Amino acid sequence: MKKSLILVGTQWGDEGKGKIVDYFSKKFDAVCRFQGGHNAGHTIYNEEEKFVLHLIPSGVFYDHVSCFIGQGVILSLDSLLEEIEQLESKGIKLEGKLRISRYCSLLLPIHAKIDQLREDKKNAIGTTRRGIGPAYEDKTARRSIKAFDLEDNELLEQKLKNLVDYYNFQIETIHASDTFDYEEVLKNLKESYQKASKYFGDVTDSLEEIYDGGGNILYEGAQGTLLDVDYGTYPYVTSSNTLATSVGVGSGFPKSIYSDVLGVTKAYTTRVGSGPFPTELFCEEGEKLAELGHEFGATTGRPRRCGWLDLVALKYSAKLNNLTELCITKLDVLDCFETIKVCHSYKIDGVDTSFKSRLLHKVEPVYENLKGWNTSLNNCKDFDSLPEETKAFISYVEDYVGVKVTLISNGPNRSDLIHR
């Protein structure tokens, strides 16, 4: 039986997972999203064209790959239909290729509205303002509209009326903003589902059929480990579990946990939104990383905060996800640095400490200075052709984290990859 692979981000998201999923997809029979929502932004450069995928799995560009959205994903039908339309305008057909779980909780425009109103208040989390948090709240509070609810008009109307009334009360009394018309919400929801209904089916049975038939499945994580709602830098986190261990629940296929796990990390660190960031740079080096790395959010367009690679956080992520291999992306962004710093330990009041999310705002990073390579990596086609200083950087990461680096991204294009 062929093995499956779980791919996760090891930082605060934006590690370049889309490109890596796209690279591996040609070797797999199926790709499955298992958590998050359209707050993800997986960027792929495909034959001189740039695609940013928010919901649809990044294996969509290969004809032989079946794409699945598991029930752990919060689903915006409007965003889904927009993404399908964009892909089909480029000749990529989704019918018969994409299957979505009927058990997905739906994200409605009213969720985005309440998210935006909350973020406009003081002490904002720094969300994507797309409604992900409120939609996950509804799921936990057992008031979600599930995709299968659209198949029962009476049940749908009752649940949706309660939901609209619940949020309209908050919108009017707490935020003094314009409320939603229930009839209009119902009409738009039914119209969107009618267009999208052909993509819904039983994801669990489909994944099991592929797996038991000897096929292999790639599970595509969204966001990053340090944004996990339980193990990340709470409360500055996303609203889902982003770890590899959540794939069984999110995909609806428990056998998926018996997979190798590839962690994706940038050669430096970035973060969007609020929250602690020990290696963040407030100097010309940080500006240089942002400029060379084109560090703007694929989903929000917001500038990313930049800093040196944090190996303490990376080792924490490796442990939580039980990583079997590592991928380093954007290694070429460091081409022009004379000295490259990596954080190898934390101190609080002069005392060494491990990664503890509750204390991260207090830590002082301790750095090792590594010699830069001062040459372009873009023309390197294999590991042996890399400069010795680059190899030393990779070896330092491997030795500290205890996980082998098997894949290196040395440029933005689809072909800019070195596989060991």
Catalytic residue numbers? 14, 42
Which residues sit opposite 409 in a β-bridge? Answer: 417
Q: What angle (nearest 5°) sits at the alpha carbon of residue 44, between those of residues 38 and 47?
A: 145
Which own/partner contact pairs does 115-119 have at CB distance under 8 Å and 24+ positions apart?
A: 117/171, 117/175, 117/177
| Phi/psi at 231 (5° precision) | -110, 0
Which two three-digit tokens encode residue 140?
A: 């936990």
The enclosing H or E element of 352 equals: strand 351-353
Give the distance, in angstroms, between the CA of residue 2 and the centroid of all CA atoms in the same chain.
25
Is residue 28 within 8 A of residue 5, CB to CB? The reply is yes
Identity at 75, one-letter amino acid code: L
The enclosing H or E element of 154 equals: helix 153-173
Which two three-digit tokens encode residue 83?
A: 């993404």
Q: What is the DSSP letter of 415?
A: T
Report the chain's terminal Cα–Cα distance, integer Å. 23
Task: Give the Cβ contact number of residue 11 at 10 Å.
Answer: 24
Identity at 224, one-letter amino acid code: G
What's the rounded Cα separation, in Å, for the pair 335 and 328? 14
Is residue 101 within 8 A of residue 70, CB to CB? The reply is yes
Is residue 171 within 8 A of residue 177, CB to CB? The reply is yes
Pairing of strands 105-106, 74-75: parallel
Task: Give the Cβ contact number of residue 62 at 10 Å.
Answer: 17
- CB within 8 A of 23, min separation 6: which ones? 407, 414, 417
